[in-house]
Every structure is written in structure tokens, then in C-alpha cells.
Amino acid sequence: MASKSSSPRLFQWLAIALLIILADQFTKLLILSSFQYGDSRTVTGFFNLVRVHNTGAAFSFLAGASGWQRWFFVLLGVASTGFIVWLLRRHGHQTVFALALSLIMGGAIGNVVDRLMHGYVVDFLQFHWGGWYFPSFNVADSAITVGALLLVWDELRRVRRG
């Protein structure tokens, strides 16, 4: 059962998610206004800014599907958000766990906004080395990845203590 102090904590975790959403959408707006689809600008010998559209999920999974994946990923994002808010209400006092969930939720919503507005996710960060290119990604993807890593780290800490 959630404690009486969970509401202020919930607000804190939702505020972090909102900051992720805003940062994600702001950076995507910059890319959309400065780059045409397929444009690439070299920043360093291993990093480019690009504009690509991902109709699939991570690493363009299902990008070649007939269009149903857009609504599938929107529904998945909405359902995940509801579940994460429920978890935050119950476990908002667990700082690392709640931070991880906030990052994941902010990233998921950031990408859902893209799917609803554009029908695809705008990716623009591209790392490469020696002819090998890591799939392009964005701020939302970064938040989801950091959140997932924090979840693993938090669970490993919990197992060691227990």
C-alpha cells in the first residue's frame, strides 16, 4: 500500500519524466527544422548528427511491417506508462528504482508523441567507428537505456543485500 508521502514523491518522478519528454521533443524539433530526411553532418570522427525516421522499435525492429506496428507501439507505450505510474505510486520511496522507471516512462512517452505526430520516431544521434555504424537513436532512447541499466543495477544491489 502506498504511504501518505508517496504523492509528493510521485510528483517528483513524474516531473523527471516530463523533463525527459521536453528535452526529447525539443531536440527532435531542432533536427526536424534543420535537417532534411537523410541529411548527415559530421561532428567528430566517430559521431554524426543525422535525420532518420524509424517506423519500428529498437534497431528498427518491425520497421518493414505494413503500418500496424505504429499503433501497436503507441498502445504498448500507453499501457507501459499506466503500469509505471502504478509502480511509482507503490514504490516511489525506492530512489534508484523510481528514477529508472521515470527515465523509461519519459523516453517511452517521447517516442509515442513522435508516432502520433509523424507516424515514425525521429532519430538523430549516430555513432560509428571503422566503418561500423551503431543504429541511430535519440534522447528518448537514451533515457530508456539508462533507465533499463539502472533497473538492472538496482536489482543486483538488492540481491547482494538480501
Rg over alpha carbons for the chain, rounded to the nearest Å, is 17
Q: Which of 24, 39, 141, 154 is catalytic?
A: 141
Q: 48 near 35, Cβ under 8 Å?
A: no
- Give CA–CA dist 89/46, Å, rounded: 41
- Known active-site residue 154: no
One DSSP character per residue, 79-145 reads HHHHHHHHHHHHHTT-HHHHHHHHHHHHHHHHHHHHHHHHSSEEEEEEEEETTEEPPPB-HHHHHHH
Q: Which of 24, 39, 123, 154 is catalytic?
A: 123
- Give CA–CA dist 91/87, Å, rounded: 6
- Known active-site residue 141: yes
Closest CA to 53 of 128, 105, 115, 104: 115
Active site residues: 123, 141
